[in-house]
Chains A and B, each alone.
Chain A
């Protein structure tokens, strides 16, 4: 028997194009990332043995490669097709992710739509450019500002940038309005058990917690997803769609019912 060919699910041309361009930009950037050490090492005749590089960096590879891939599960759904650019310019947790969350919040678009994807792209490109400019200024002003930049007070402030960032971001996330005119009541109830779980986990293994954050994100997504689904099915979470979407949803249900009736008749 001939095996039926699996049809590819439909992908909007916008997402196809953005992913294709993201991949091209990644390849160009990878050439630069590798090109700088390659040319330097060739010119100065200091090219290390590949085996020594792997042997020296094995600890980093063991920690960062699986963690980096695990982090993608949490970050890609939010940053979408702009994740390529976010990775190229780095500093994801302390800059790109908050920028993306802020852009979704400011725009009011529903996460997962192409409109949200495009505003996240704008935010990530702008924040990358700002970092490039400030770091260039930092290099120019390194000498005159060295005493200021190495002062104790500035060190304390810089080490608290994450709680300062996420304090206001989390607050904006608490409301029922999730963008696109969609109101969801009670969705945060699904986060209570995972939140308690991660607090206990952090208190038990605080030294390892941050090193394995990527894996914890996967566990967190699984927990929040399953609890949310259960609570939604039990009617404990209410989703109110904007009128146009509700009409579409009703039409879809009607069409499905109609198809069901037709199938029964055929039988």
Chain B
């Protein structure tokens, strides 16, 4: 059997579709569970709806960016498995690196790879990242509850110490975005500027609905401007 006969087989399509339907059901279940918990905590329906609306609008653009990555991955591992991998644990960069690593380890390219190579690629993509998910079962709860207890003796320090995690995370993450190149820096600044302008407009005009779209507007605007910056700066 050839590589492509397995990577594009109907069996794989069926397995992937069934698995993704179960994953979607898990997400719906989790959403309903959280909504019920929010109601029990007295969080207003309006606030919950605001979060759902804001997240849904904002998630569209990054999800399209993930779908663009699908095109690249499909070339290497076919449609069904690429679709599966990007819908669950992985990310485009990881999946591409994993599939290419497996191909080069076998000293193969796609033109002469056989079905066995596809079997190996599937497992090489699966094992490393699945081990980190497996680790969650043992590590996530103690880590989460441990960080919540930080500063529990002093209420003021307790409130302040909880903010240190997000501060540190943002500091580490934004450095490569700002110093990775001029286009990245300009895109970052443009996004921040659009956020300022839109929130000022929302405040001035009293159009509260605008706040739900801030992230989506910033994303589309800044990503659009990144094309202009790249063309101008080369």
Contact = CB atoms under 8 A, between A and B. Distances in A.
A112 interface: yes
A135 B127 contact: no
Interface of A (DSSP majority class): helix
B56 to A, nearest CB: 5
A111 to B, nearest CB: 5
B155 interface: yes
B137 A95 contact: no
A259 interface: no
A202 B35 CA distance: 41
Contact of A33 (B86, B88, B166, B211): B88
Contacts of A182: 159
Given A32-B19, A46-B118, A52-B120, A94 B65 contact: yes
A158 interface: yes
Interface of B (DSSP majority class): helix
A102 B215 contact: yes
B38 A118 contact: yes
Contacts of A237: 160
Nearest to A246: B155
B32 to A, nearest CB: 9
Interface in B78-107: 79, 81, 83-84, 86-91, 94, 97-98, 101-102, 105-106
Given A111-B162, A160-B187, A33 B130 contact: yes
Contact of A83 (B67, B130, B136): B136
Nearest to B1: A44
B145 interface: yes
Contacts of B204: none
Interface string A14-47: 1100110111011111101111110111011011
A28 B174 contact: no
Given A29-B133, A139-B83, A167-B188, A134 B174 contact: no
Interface string B95-131: 0011001100110000000011011101110111111
Contacts of A125: 27-28, 30-31, 34
Interface in A94-145: 94-95, 97-99, 101-103, 106-107, 110-112, 114-115, 118-119, 121-139, 142
B139 A69 contact: yes
B119 A130 contact: no
Contacts of B86: 90-91, 135
B38 A122 contact: yes
A221 B147 CA distance: 11
Contact of A173 (B139, B170, B230): B170
Contact of A146 (B71, B135, B163): B71
12 contacts: A37-B122, A60-B97, A60-B98, A75-B169, A102-B215, A107-B47, A123-B55, A136-B20, A139-B83, A164-B218, A213-B172, A225-B161
